[in-house]
């Protein structure tokens, strides 16, 4: 495990030095937080987030920012509370800007892990629900988000599905169930031949319609 502190490593005689180590870490995290936080709000606001991004040399629309939010279990898009900040950075073991930057690739690997990705995928949907009690995502935002999170791994399916979403008129929003099942679709269904898609199963209707549309296109082409 990489050393967190620059101090010489002392044999752990009692919990005191360890506790001290931890407190030092928390202190650094907090001051890290403070350097971006909006003091009147008590949290990092969109402006602060932008500054953080530029310091990390990432675009604020970069998927890694989303991953960071996931790590923090952030609730409100564009804002990080102190608790969220602490949670995220502690588990990343990054208490300075430099360390955080270094951890980003690790974070990406972590998200890509099978057991985490689905959670991250669902998180990203909920994270984009900006209004109170909002349950659905408008088509445009959904398309952007799909590209961002699934584009790299499943770009064929995502491109196709985005085309369809823009073409169809029945649905104006996407709900979490449809969102979740699209990922399952990408994982389970052979693309583009769609041979093993069975619409007698409980796929959401939007995917049934998507498959019908694709099949029709391929026969008429």
Partner 1 sequence: MSLLINIDASLSCWLLYTAVSWAWGIRLTLIKMNERKTINLEQGRDFMQKGITKLKNILEGLPEPQFSSEEYMMLYTTIYNMCTQKPPHDYSQQLYDKYRESFQEYITSTVLPSLREKHDEFMLRELVKRWSNHKVMVRWLSRFFYYLDRYFITHRSLPPLNEVGLACFRDLVYTEVNGKVRDAVISLIDQEREGEQIDRALLKNVLDIFVEIGMGQMECYENDFELSMLKDTAAYYSRKASNWILEVSCPDYMLKKVQNELLSVYATQLLEKEHSGCYALLRDDKVVDLSRMYRLFSKIPQGLEPISSMFKQHVTAEGTTLVKQADDAASNKKAEKRDVAGLQEQALKEAFEIFCNKGVAGSSSAELLATFCDNILKKGGSEKLSDEAIEDTLEKVVKLLAYISDKDLFAEFYRKKLARRLLFDESANDEHERSILTKLKQQCGGQFTSKMEGMVTDLALAKENQSHFEEYLSNNSNVSPGIDLTVTVLTTGFWPSYKSFDLNLPAEMVKCVEVFREFYQTKTKHRKLTWIYSLGTCNINGKFEPKTVELIVTTYQASTLLLFNLSDRLSYQEIMSQLNLSDDDVIRLLHSLSCARYKILIKEPNTKTISPTDTFEFNSKFTDKMRRIKIPLPPVDEKKKVIEDVDKDRRYAIDASIVRIMKSRKVLGYQQLVMECVEQLGRMFRPDVKAIKKRIEDLITRDYLERDKDNPNVFRYLA
Among positions 135, 166, 215, 217, the unique one binding partner 1 when judged by CB under 8 A = 135
Query: What mask of x and - would describe binding to partner 1 in positions 157 to 176, judged by CB under 8 A?
Result: ------------------xx
Q: Is the dihedral of CA 26, 32, 38, 44 positive or negative?
A: negative
CB 106, min distance to partner 1, A: 28
d(CA 23, CA 10): 16
Q: Binder to partner 1 among 177, 193, 212, 216 (CB under 8 A)?
A: 177
**201: contact with partner 1 by CB under 8 A:** yes
Tell me if 221 contacts partner 1 by CB under 8 A.
no
The least distance separating partner 1 from the CB of residue 59, rounded to whole angstroms, comes to 33
Considering the complex, state which of residue 82 and residue 175 has its C-beta at the smaller distance from partner 1.
175
* Residue 200 lies near partner 1 (rule: CB under 8 A): yes
Contacting partner 1 within 179-198 (CB under 8 A): 181, 184
Give the x/- contact pattern for partner 1 in 24-53, rule: CB under 8 A. ------------------------------
Contacts with partner 1, residue ranges (CB under 8 A): 135-136, 175-178, 181, 184, 200-202, 204-205, 208
């Amino acid at each position: 495990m990489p050393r967190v502190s620059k101090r010489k490593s002392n044999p752990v005689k009692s919990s005191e030095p360890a506790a001290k180590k931890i407190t030092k870490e928390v202190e650094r995290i907090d001051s890290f937080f403070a350097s971006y936080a909006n003091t009147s709000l008590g949290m990092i606001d969109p402006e602060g987030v932008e500054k953080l991004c530029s310091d990390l040399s990432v675009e604020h629309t970069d998927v890694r920012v989303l991953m960071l939010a996931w790590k923090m279990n952030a609730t409100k898009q564009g804002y990080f509370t102190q608790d969220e900040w602490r949670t995220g950075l502690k588990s990343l073991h990054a208490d300075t800007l430099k360390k955080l930057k270094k951890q980003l690739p690790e974070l990406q690997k972590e998200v890509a892990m099978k057991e985490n990705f689905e959670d991250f995928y669902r998180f990203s949907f909920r994270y984009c629900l900006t209004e109170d009690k909002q349950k659905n995502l408008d088509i445009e935002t959904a398309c952007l988000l799909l590209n961002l999170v699934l584009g790299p791994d499943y770009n064929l399916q995502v491109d196709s599905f985005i085309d369809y979403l823009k073409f169809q008129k029945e649905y104006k929003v996407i709900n979490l169930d449809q969102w979740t099942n699209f990922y399952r679709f990408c994982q389970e269904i052979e693309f583009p031949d769609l041979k093993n898609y069975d619409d007698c199963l409980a796929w959401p209707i939007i995917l049934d319609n998507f498959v019908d549309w694709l099949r029709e296109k391929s026969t008429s082409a």
